[in-house]
């Protein structure tokens, strides 16, 4: 099955929530865990226990694992493997972007199904040009994986580049969305190449229907509400993957409580 098909099936089965797995120092402390590799291991194992087979999507943030060096990367690798074949899809938040052989190496590291750190999808940056992402798309297509391209992020610095106009007169963000739309043309039930669109951007002059998944960070503790999502995405809400990290993880460290909060949030999203 293509990533788009698996995305659609997981969303229908569990709901549109994507739980961000962000083991930053403050959260480890709130869970009563040390800011150490031992604390990271316990945190990751709890997230697997709480969410594997219980939510459709999780989004590990690579940076919070990488800060512990090789040992932290090993925990990330094990976490990705633990989620495989559980019904929960992994979106590895790495925001990679490079050219030629380097981009291909990143793509193989994260999207080749036989790679140790294989994820179901990754996030990438188009700053070096949309064409530079071709290796990610190619490896993803060969392995039924997905790619989420930064388009309209909610950080205050984003509009300086994303709202800039190209020679054709369209915005950079609009160009990214347009090219993703073209790549997903004809895909059913939905394409495998998605965009990252922040929940707190307020509004968009760009059409957001790309016939592909829309990864929407900023939902929950960062201020985005269900009302915001319904207003911003309207008729394409069925393409939305609403990502919440702190809003869910604050319920920890008990795995059952974390699971219950995720189920409650999914119900809120579906029933809105």
Dihedral sign from CA coordinates of 15, 92, 103, 85:
negative
Q: Which of 11, 42, 59, 95 is catalytic?
A: 95
Q: Among residues 156, 155, 106, which one has the least CA distance to residue 128?
A: 106
**Cβ of 190: how many Cβ atoms within 10 Å?**
21
Report in angstroms the alpha-carbon separations of 15 from 11, 12, 19, 225, 239.
5, 6, 11, 16, 11
Q: Please answer whether residues 191 and 212 qualify as being in contact, where contact means their C-beta atoms are separated by less than 8 angstroms.
A: yes
- Confirm whether 156 is a catalytic residue: no
| Integer Cα distance of 271 and 52 in angstroms | 23
Q: Please answer whether residues 231 and 12 qualify as being in contact, where contact means their C-beta atoms are separated by less than 8 angstroms.
A: no
Give the catalytic positions in this structure: 95
């Amino acid at each position: 099955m293509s990533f788009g098909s698996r995305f659609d099936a997981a969303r229908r089965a569990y709901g549109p929530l994507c739980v961000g797995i962000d083991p930053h120092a403050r959260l480890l402390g709130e869970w009563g865990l040390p800011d150490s590799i031992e604390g990271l291991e316990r945190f990751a194992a709890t997230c697997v226990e709480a969410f594997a087979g219980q939510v459709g999507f999780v989004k590990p943030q690579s940076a919070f694992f990488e800060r512990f060096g090789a040992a932290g990367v090993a925990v990330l690798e094990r976490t990705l493997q633990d989620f495989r074949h559980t019904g929960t899809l992994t979106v590895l938040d790495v925001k990679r972007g490079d050219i030629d052989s380097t981009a291909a190496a990143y793509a193989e590291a994260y999207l080749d199904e036989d790679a140790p750190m294989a994820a179901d999808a990754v996030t990438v940056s188009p700053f070096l040009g949309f064409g530079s992402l071709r290796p990610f798309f190619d490896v993803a297509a060969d392995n039924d994986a997905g790619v989420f391209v930064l388009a309209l992020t909610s950080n205050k610095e984003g509009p300086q580049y994303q709202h800039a106009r190209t020679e054709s007169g369209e915005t950079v963000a609009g160009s990214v969305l347009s090219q993703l739309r073209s790549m997903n043309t004809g895909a059913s039930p939905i394409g495998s190449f998605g965009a990252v669109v922040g929940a707190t951007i307020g509004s968009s002059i760009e059409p957001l229907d790309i016939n592909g998944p829309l990864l929407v960070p900023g939902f929950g503790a960062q201020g985005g509400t269900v009302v915001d999502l319904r207003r911003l995405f309207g008729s394409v809400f069925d393409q939305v993957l609403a990502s919440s990290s702190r809003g869910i993880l604050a319920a920890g460290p008990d795995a059952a409580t974390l699971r219950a909060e995720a189920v409650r949030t999914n119900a809120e999203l579906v029933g809105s």
